Structure 1
Amino acid sequence: MQNFSWIRRVKLQQLRAVLALAESPSLVRASESLNLSQPAVSKILRELETDLGVELFTRTSRGSHTTPMGDMLVERVRVIFSQLERVAQEIHDLNAGLSGHVVVGVLPAGGADFLPRALASLYRAYPGIRVTVIEGTYDHLIPQLQQGAIEMIVGRIPAYRFRDGLEVEPLYEENITFAVCPQHPLLSRPAVALSDLLEWPWIMPLADTTLRQMVESAFHDAGLDLPAAPCESISVITNRRLIMETDYIAAFPTQVIQTDLDTGLLAAIPISPARSFGAVGISQVKERPLSHAALRLVDQLRATARRYE
């Protein structure tokens, strides 16, 4: 049985010193950021290394660098301080008569319609809750989720390669819509086949995105070449406007442009059968409890998804 008694002795100052030196390999700068002398910082780190029985930093003439054990500790310490900051913020908010703060990451498939509707319901039910929304792709949002900078991600459920250490909750199934301007010549045809879409230029999703892979699969499975794509973009704002001004075709998760379809700003090419984009829902870190504010948001997301169904 290993002796973990050092857990009872470890001080936040020691953990701060680890972060300071990892972020600034110069002992001088690390000491200045901690407002301590260099000998004091060196002593703190030696004591921690002695307690753990491993070397956390290698010292060279060019400064200090984390060892593999040091890298692991730094990653965990960042999560610890992130959680402490969140607890302090929640206590402050509750004491100030607010109802908490939640930071949520969002993907395009969740950010255009689904999350805004849930946030509107959240505000009506809990007007004191503050929400920070960070938009991005999974490779951008997953590290922030793992480090505790955001509490959950709303959007398409991630591929298995992104799911390590995550808990996912699918909420509704999303389809893909091929969108054009309302005056597009394709819309005058009585029937449209996938091969007909090759006659027109496309705005193609960026390589390595889920939507790009799905578009490519649709054409390849039908034995077709990919359409000409003068533009590659995942910007919803740019793509919408470009479609309105040209005869380009673009693929969207349906809910991203549902309001545009309803108001006639964009039109959907009627291709059957519908092509699935996959499940949209919530991703969070396994066994990491959500804040009270985040749990309220989850309730509203589930209610919004039920209305979609």
Structure 2
Amino acid sequence: MASMMSFSNQSLVRRLKLQQLAVFERVLSCGSLLAASRELHMTQPAITKIIQELEEHFGQILLVRSRRGVQPTDFGLMLRNHCRTLMADLRYLADDLNSWSAGVSGQVVVGTLLAASAQLLPGAVRRLREMAPNVVVQVRVGVNDKMFPELARGELDVVVGLIPLHEKNPDYEHVPLYAETLCAVVGRQHPLAASRTISVAQLESWDWILPTSESEASHSVDHFFETLKMRKPTRIVESVSIMTNLGLLVDSDMIAIMPYKVAAKFVHLGLLSVLPVGQDIPFGYVGYTLANGRTASPATQRLLLSLHDVASQISS
């Protein structure tokens, strides 16, 4: 089916329909025509017809079918990337239209990490709810290596967490809000919880909870142990899930490394104790990241204002 075809903006406007591109993107996201038909509430033959129409428009095969579903061809991969960008722009348009017609509404999709998930982001979401109660906030947890590409594709509006020190990609705009340090924490029941002084030998005898090796925080964790002149533990659980870490700390005698301002929240709630070691070791700057060249929706702009307000309280 491949052929030499010439395209222009006008020819694409005449040939293509938004629904066709939306269906194609959903088929690839779902991995099969059947799954996409269920999600879109369309018949499978109707979806097959739309894919065939797109292939005729472009003169290219878009999908390869197998027992495990469908896979995009090289041309299909290229088209999928443009479809994702287009779908993200349509979502921003919908947010603007909703905000224009209803005053304060829309949706914000936020990626977050441990450093912001306990205090900064919850505080900002509460403040946003006061200003714009009709805004829907969707929070996704992950690491920068996963979330930054999603931000670039428009699947996330903003990433809130530790600002990467070694990331110089011009596609992203990093906005630091406050400096953070590291600390070692345990559950209140831990034998070391009430200790005023602790030796390295005592620390080495326990299991630890550390950030995953691919997370931005791993560099600071290495510095933490170097500063204490302590070998990095080998009996570890790697996790950036705040709920998993809290569950392990409360129900076991493990030690975790945690951003100090995050730990302070759970100390105040009576769940954790901060050990008297390494509390002044730098962790980095907590803030948010946007995709360069993309205008934030009105709902996202309100969330960013809330982040700044809450950060000023945390750092004061």
User: TM-score of the superposition, structure 2-length normalised?
Assistant: 0.77
1:100 is paired with a residue whose SS is: strand
**1:235 and 1:41, CA in 2 relative to 1: closer, same or farther beyond 3 A?**
closer
**Residue matched to 1:304:** 310
Tell me the distance in 2 between the aligned counterparts of 1:262 and 1:36: 54
The amino acid that maps onto 2:261 is: Q
Decide whether the 8 Å contact of 2:99 with 2:298 is kept in 1.
no
Change (3 A) 1:22 1:56: farther
Instruction: Work out the CA distance in 2 between the residues paired with 1:264 and 1:248.
Output: 17
Q: Deviations over 1:146-174 (max 9, x none)?
A: 33222111111235459462221111111
Which of 17, 30, 35 is 2:46 aligned to?
A: 35
Question: Quick check: 1:288 aligned with 2:304?
Answer: no
Instruction: Identify the residue that residue 169 of structure 1 maps to in structure 2.
Output: 175
Question: Which amino acid in structure 1 is aligned with residue 58 of structure 2?
Answer: L
What's the CA shift for 1:271? Answer: 2.2
Say yes or no: does 1:11 pair with 2:41: no
State the one-letter code of the partner of 1:45: E
Instruction: State the alpha-carbon separation in 2 of the partners of residues 265 and 20 from structure 1.
Output: 43
**C-alpha contact 2:162 2:284 (8 A) present in aligned 1:** yes
Question: Which position in structure 2 is the counterpart of 1:45?
Answer: 55
> Matched residues in 1 for 2:51 and 2:236: separation?
57
Look up the match of 1:132: 138
> Which amino acid counterpart does residue 77 of structure 1 have in structure 2?
C
Q: 1:197 aligns with which of 179, 203, 228?
A: 203
Residue aligned with 1:290, SS: coil
Compute the displacement of 1:94 (Å). 4.6
Question: Contact between 2:144 and 2:216, CA under 8 Å: does it hold in 1?
Answer: no
**Distance 1:239-1:162 versus aligned 2 partners, 3 A rule:** farther
Go from structure 1 to structure 2 and tell me whether the alpha carbon gap of 1:17 and 1:200 turns closer, same or farther (over 3 Å shift): closer
Report the CA distance between 1:259 and its aligned residue: 1.9
CA RMSD of aligned residues (A): 3.7
Q: Which has the larger radius of gyration?
A: 1
Partner of 1:141: 147
Superposed counterparts of 1:51-200, under 5 Å: 55=60, 57=62, 66-92=72-98, 94-96=100-102, 98-158=104-164, 160=166, 163=169, 165-182=171-188, 184-186=190-192, 190-200=196-206
Deviates more, 1:193-202 or 1:168-177: 193-202
Rounded to whole Å, the distance in 2 between the matches of 1:188 and 1:36 is 64
In 2, Cα distance between the equivalents of 1:151 and 1:220?
36
Q: CA deviation at 1:283?
A: 1.2
Give the superposition deviation at 1:193: 4.8
Task: Output the CA distance in 1 between the equivalents of 2:22 and 2:96.
Answer: 22
Aligned length: 301
The alignment-based identity, stated in percent, is 28
* Structure 2 equivalent of residue 52 of structure 1: none
In structure 1, distance between residues paired with 2:140 and 2:78: 26
Q: 1:172 to 1:10 in 2, by over 3 A?
A: farther
Q: Deviations over 1:25-81 (max 9, x none)?
A: 88xx9995583785x8545433334xxxxx564879999864434312211112202
Secondary structure of the 2:89 match is helix
Letter aligned with residue 55 of structure 2 = L
- Structure 1, unaligned runs of 5 or more: 50-54
Where does the alignment leave 5 or more consecutive residues of structure 2 unmatched?
Answer: 1-5
